[in-house]
Each structure stands twice: as structure tokens, then as C-alpha cells.
Amino acid sequence: MVSDLHDRAWAAAASVCDPEIPVLTIADLGVLRAVRVSGDAVEVEITPTYSGCPAMNMIQIEIETALHEAGIAGRVLTTLSPAWTTEWMTADGRRKLLEYGIAPPPPSGSRRALFGEIAVACPRCASADTEQLAEFGSTSCKALWRCRACREPFDLFKCH
């Protein structure tokens, strides 16, 4: 019975989309960290992509609404440690970003990343001939880039 409640609570929370990137769920992003069940009480743990993320209040409300609609009494806890990392994003989430026109974060561990040099492929034409225009894009968690081949601007989801 506890497992069923856990699974229903996880499914409800995992269905919540990121308000800034609506093609991604909070599970795709890795923001949904845990669901704990104690008796009939459910706690959902989330971690923001960065500590000042303005979307977290909306995400919390959406999780509470999803739980309520599933008939589950629960509360949402925000935890900052360990800090969120782009490594928590799912492969499906990275694919959805690319299909939406946002370059997914490059894999960490690259030697080039040590020197602040990253190779970013254009999400439209796949050219690696790209350049960063601004540290911040349409939201704080994205940077603005441009493809030199197709000349189109695009956002890059930043590594954390």
C-alpha cells in the first residue's frame, strides 16, 4: 500500500512541467529529488536549478495541486544540498530541450570546460561554429548564443 501511494505521488509530482521551459517536467530536469511516504503523509523533495530560481514557488504550487488532484495529502520541501547539477537531467530531458530549440548543457568533465571553452552545437542546424553573445538568455539558467553557419540565435541551458 505504501508503495502504491509512493508511486502515485511520484507520478503526480513528476507530471509537473517547468514553468520556464514547458516541454520539460521537473523529473526531466532532475529537480524532483525524492518522494517519501510515512503513513498517509507524503513529502516531495525538490532542488532548484540555482538558489535564486524564480520558478520554484510556481513549481511548489503545481506539485501541491497535482498531489491534491491525485487525492494525496502532501507537502513540498526544498533542499539546497547537494546543489543541483545538469548531470541530474535525464537523457529524455536533454532530447526535449534540443527539439525545443535550446541547446542542452554539454557533458561535464570536458577538459575544455576547465578553461571556460565549450563546444556548443546549434540546435537548428547542428553546426559547431557557434559563439556566445551574452551570459544570460531568456532566463537566468540559459545563455544566449548564435550560430555562425545558419545565423540563428539560440539559448544554451547552462552547466551547473
The tens digit of pLDDT for each residue in 63-113 reads 999 999 999 999 999 999 999 999 999 999 999 999 999 999 877 655 554
One domain, residues 59 and 104: no
Q: How far apart are CA 69 and CA 86, in angstroms?
A: 30
One domain, residues 11 and 78: yes
Contact 159, 105 (CB under 8 A): yes
- How many domains are there within the chain? 2
One domain, residues 105 and 121: yes
Q: Which residues contact 112 (CB under 8 A, 6 or more apart)?
A: 118, 119
Residue 33: φ, ψ to 5°: -100, -40
Confidence band for 47, pLDDT divided at 50, 70 and 90 = very high
One domain, residues 40 and 7: yes
Q: Which domain holds residue 73?
A: 2-84
pLDDT at 116: 59
Query: Which of the pair, 63 or 138, is modelled with greater confidence?
Result: 63
The domain boundary, picked from 21, 53, 84, lies at 84
Query: Which of the pair, 158 or 69, is modelled with greater confidence?
Result: 69
pLDDT at 130: 96
pLDDT at 110: 52
User: Residue 157: helix, strand or coil by DSSP?
Assistant: strand
Longest pairwise C-alpha distance within the chain: 58
The domain boundary, picked from 84, 118, 136, lies at 84
One domain, residues 80 and 112: no
Q: How far apart are CA 69 and CA 89, in angstroms?
A: 26
Q: How far apart are CA 98 and CA 137, in angstroms?
A: 16
Prediction pTM value: 0.84
One domain, residues 8 and 78: yes
Confidence band for 138, pLDDT divided at 50, 70 and 90 = confident
